[in-house]
Structure 1
């Protein structure tokens, strides 16, 4: 479980996050949603200690993260997997080398053990046999899968995904959502996904936090979001014609 308490952050005098609190539970796919510029990615960076908030605390299974020693922070980071928005693969490394990179940097496993773990993770994301290929030789969706394999190679307790469907076609996006949900369920980890993709919200949103101008205005799940009475959330959810028609079905 991850708990954030009263996270606040400003940049150049502009409030980006304003007293945001919430709980992300083990075994659930938790989504943080909102329009561009609402503070979603900044919140993620605060949780990862990549950006320091002016105020607030972050707890991983009761362990405070932002104000501990560097050694304790490193120990907690070993339990985190991160899928960055662009995939962030090393162009000069093969798929196998990209996935193995955290093991090379952070473990004392033998080469055989590392190779077995990489093979397992590539199998888990449906990329058997792709280890020798270069990132330039695979599709955007496959790159995201490689990124997920790398994110889980250390067997993390916590998985963070920043806009995992960015730049992907709808069908591939659905497959990535399904994969993230499957990994969360299979490994019983705490997963936090930053997204503005309503398909993701409706299909894998066990817990959903809505940010608006840096504030948390609503929290719920995919079964209640369609009938929310929060005006700003309503506008975000039903911002396209298809969902406007869907709203009619929910409110009849």
Structure 2
């Protein structure tokens, strides 16, 4: 379980996050949604330690990330898996080298142990035959799956995904969503996804937080989101519908 309490963050005098609090449960998919510039990615970075909040706390199973000693923070980091927007693969490394990278950096596994773990993760995402290929030789959807394999190679307790469907066609987006859902349920991971995709919200989002201009304006389960009376959230849902309809029209041309 992850708890965030009263997270505030400002840059150059401009407040980006305004006292955000929530609880993210083990074995569930938690979505943070909102338009561009609403603070979604900043909140994620505060949670994984890339940006320190100006105020507030982030607790991993009651361990306060920002008020712990170095050893505790390192232990928490080893329990995290992160899927960055775009995949963030190393162009000069093969698929299997990309997946193995966290094991090389953070473990003392033997070469055979690393190979066994990498092979398992690539098989789990359906890329067992792509290990020797370079990122330039695979599709965008495959790159996202490589990113997922790398994110789970350390057998994480917490999985963070930043816009996992960005740049993907609707069918591939659905497949990525299904894969994240399967992995979350199978390994009882606490999963947090940053997204603006309402299809992801309705299909896999068990718990949803809506941010608007740094404020948390709505939080609840995905089946209740269409019943909201929050005008900013209704506008966000409507804009998403227009984008999805336009994408479908382009596909049918």
Taking a change above 3 Å as real, the CA distance of residues 165 and 133 of structure 1, as seen in their structure-2 partners, is same
**Number of the residue aligned with 1:159:** 159
- My pick for the range that moved more, 16-25 or 222-231, is 222-231
Please say if residues 198 and 240 of structure 2, whose CA atoms lie closer than 8 Å, have aligned partners that are also in contact.
no
Moved over 4 A (4+): 240-245
Q: Is the 8 A contact 2:163 2:196 kept in 1?
A: yes
Q: Does 2:117 match 1:117? A: yes
How has the CA–CA distance of structure 1 residues 195 and 241 changed in structure 2, closer, same or farther, with 3 Å as cutoff? closer
Quickly say closer, same or farther: Cα 1:244–1:111, change in 2 above 3 A: closer
- Deviation, structure 1 residue 128: 1.4
Moved more, 233-242 or 194-203: 233-242
2:52 is aligned to 52
- Written as runs of structure 1 = structure 2, the 5 A alignment for 1:99-178 is 99-178=99-178
Deviation at 1:181, TM superposition (A): 0.5
Aligned in 2, Cα 1:229/1:167: closer, same or farther, shift over 3 Å?
same
CA RMSD of aligned residues (A): 1.4
**CA distance 1:129–1:67, shift in 2 (3 Å):** same
- Number of residue-to-residue matches in the alignment: 245
Residue pair 1:27, 1:184 contacting (<8 A) in 2 also: yes
**Structure 2 unmatched ranges of 5 or more:** 246-253
TM-score scaled by length of structure 1 = 0.95
Q: How does 1:183-222 map onto structure 2 within 5 Å? A: 183-222=183-222
Whole-angstrom distance in 1 between the partners of 2:244 and 2:179: 28
How big is the shift at 1:241?
5.0
Shift of 1:146: 0.2
Residue deviations 1:72-103, cap 9 Å, x none? 11111000000000211111110000000111
C-alpha distance in 2 between matches for 1:170 and 1:18 = 33
> How far, CA to CA, are the matches of 1:241 and 1:86 in structure 2?
23
Task: Write out per-residue CA displacement over residues 117-155 of structure 1, whole angstroms, 9 at most, x where no aligned residue.
Answer: 001100111111111100010000000000000000000
SS in 2 for 1:66: helix
Q: Provide the TM-score with structure 2 as the length reference.
A: 0.94
User: In the TM superposition, what whole-angstrom CA distance separates every residue of 1:25-53 from its partner, at most 9, and x where no partner exists?
Assistant: 00100000000000000000000111111
Structure 1 residues not aligned, in runs of 5+: 246-252
1 or 2, which has the higher helix percentage? 2
